[in-house]
Amino acid sequence: MYWDEDVEKIDRNELEKRQLQDLKASVKKASLSVFYKERFRKIDFDPDSIRSLEDINKIPFTTKDDLREYWPYGFLSVQKDDLVRMHSSSGTTGRATVIFHTRGDLEAWTDMVARSMYMTGMRKSDVFQNMMTYGLFTGGLGFHYGAEKIGALIIPAGAGNSKRQIQLMRDFETTVIHIIPSYALHLSEVFEEAGVDPRRDTKLSIAFLGAEPHSEKTRIKVEEFYGLKAYNSYGLSEMNGPGVAFECPFQQGMHIWEDNFLVELVDPRTLEPVAEGEEGELVLTTLRRQGMPILRYRTKDLTCIINGTCECGRTHRRIERITGRTDDMLIIKGVNIFPVQVEKKLMGIPGVGMNFLIILEREGYNDHMIVKVEVQKEFFSGDLKQLENLRRKITEELKSDILITPKVELVEPSSLPKSEGKAVRVIDNRKD
């Protein structure tokens, strides 16, 4: 059973034919906006000159800075009157960008989210607790309307208030949750403190994990603790929000919905396409959006494309877990490190708890990396030697992967600052 088998299992030739039609229309539509009108004029580009999908190369990339520069209305391709909703990014890396939607845009977005959820097995009979911030952030309303389309019973819980979240799950027999992965780990400690075992005391069966990079190890931790299947959900507000790419039951990469997005992967330095199977920056073009089409948007997210048809039969290509954003990368003593590398290592070491924090300091010309790691309670009540052994083990394991020796400090469970939104993994005190 599929939400829309004709679309999800579409023959790739047919898909590309449709993509070309939609690309032509999207470029024309975009040319009505102040931003693209100016840009096309500058490069002497005629929207009618798109004759193949490769012709997209004639158009320069669009960046977050462009969106900021033409903020708030410079990307609109319709009258303001035709808009029905505004959303914005979380502003993780500066001024939040805003995106406007027409009624049709919202319907298309809702369909993609519904399709994604349905793909994992969520149905009308499910009780869906949406633990994401509602409001400007896209994770709340994006999933809300998708779940409503499926016909599930929605608990619009929003983020935070862990005890109430657990109560809601128990009282209303929640079966599906949408949750930020770092918060799912934190919540597991609240469950433990309250003596509630989600496997025994709840009906949870599916979790959607999204909004921030996380490793396979974290997925497994969440699946084992809660007794459910956890699916990776990727999206960004510039491309609507959630529902851009999503895992199917085979959990081998996320299907990226190519009927709505044209996908490119480029080397972030040269901006040339990467070779097949190589990692690159994801670049996306909206194919259907009316209010605010965006062409060749540099997401800054690094991933690989998995070619070939998935075992589930869907023909939309898959992307690997996101390694991080190009601007997340830490350069320490000349070595490039992504926070998720540290997460991946830590979550695989027995005894490590649910949270960690990287602190970067500069002394003269020397950079230091301090990694604070929450470890299980037992380590603080018992033999200090055991604690020291764990500290050494963590230091060694990290060093083997990131190649520099961090200063590891072990701290008690729940002692590091936590956020209701995306986890803050790094504090960089090196900036002058």
Task: Return residues touching ligand ADP (CB under 6 A).
Answer: 89-92, 210-213, 232-237, 299, 301, 322, 325
Q: Please tell me what DSSP assigns to residue 181.
A: H
Angle between helices 181-193 and 162-171 (to 10 degrees): 80
Q: Which residue lies nearer to ligand ADP by CB, 117 or 394? A: 117
Residues ≥6 apart with Cβ < 8 Å to 317: 255, 256, 258, 263, 305, 306, 307
Of the ranges 230-238, 258-266, 314-322, 360-368, which one interacts with Zn ion (CB under 5 A)? 314-322
Which of Zn ion, ligand ADP, none has residue 301 at its interface (CB below 5 to 8 Å by kind)?
Answer: ligand ADP
Residues ≥6 apart with Cβ < 8 Å to 78: 32, 102, 290, 291
Q: Which of residues 369-428 bind Zn ion (CB under 5 A)?
A: none
Q: Which residue lies nearer to ligand ADP by CB, 138 or 202? A: 138
Which of ligand ADP, Zn ion, none has residue 312 at its interface (CB below 5 to 8 Å by kind)?
Answer: Zn ion
Which of ligand ADP, Zn ion, none has residue 310 at its interface (CB below 5 to 8 Å by kind)?
Answer: Zn ion
312 binds Zn ion (CB under 5 A): yes
Q: Which residue lies nearer to Zn ion by CB, 252 or 415? A: 252
Burial 19-38 (b: 16+ CB within 10 A, else e): bbebbbbbbebbbebebbee
Q: Which residue lies nearer to ligand ADP by CB, 25 or 136? A: 136
Query: CB of residue 232 vs Zn ion: minimum separation in angstroms?
Result: 12
Query: CB of residue 30 vs ligand ADP: minimum separation in angstroms?
Result: 20
Query: CB of residue 138 vs ligand ADP: minimum separation in angstroms?
Result: 6
Tokens linked to 104: 């049709």
Parallel, antiparallel, or unpaired for β 229-236 and 241-247? antiparallel
Query: CB of residue 32 vs ligand ADP: minimum separation in angstroms?
Result: 24
176 binds Zn ion (CB under 5 A): no
User: How far is it, in rounded angstroms, from Cα 178 to Cα 131?
Assistant: 6
Distance in angstroms between the alpha carbons of the first and the last residue of the chain: 57
Query: CB of residue 243 vs ligand ADP: minimum separation in angstroms?
Result: 11
Residues 234 and 106 sit within 8 Å (Cβ to Cβ): no
Q: Which residue lies nearer to ligand ADP by CB, 114 or 423? A: 423
Query: CB of residue 323 vs ligand ADP: minimum separation in angstroms?
Result: 9
Q: Which residue lies nearer to Zn ion by CB, 36 or 208? A: 208
Tokens linked to 299: 């997401």
Q: Which residue lies nearer to Zn ion by CB, 177 or 310? A: 310
Q: Which residue lies nearer to ligand ADP by CB, 404 or 427? A: 427
Length of the chain, in residues:
432
248 binds Zn ion (CB under 5 A): yes
The vertex-301 CA angle with 67 and 157, nearest 5°, equals 80
Query: CB of residue 307 vs Zn ion: minimum separation in angstroms?
Result: 13
Number of residues that bind Zn ion (CB under 5 A): 5
Parallel, antiparallel, or unpaired for β 407-411 and 426-428? unpaired
Residues 303 and 320 sit within 8 Å (Cβ to Cβ): yes
Which residues of the chain form contacts with Zn ion (CB under 5 A)? Answer: 248, 250, 310, 312, 314
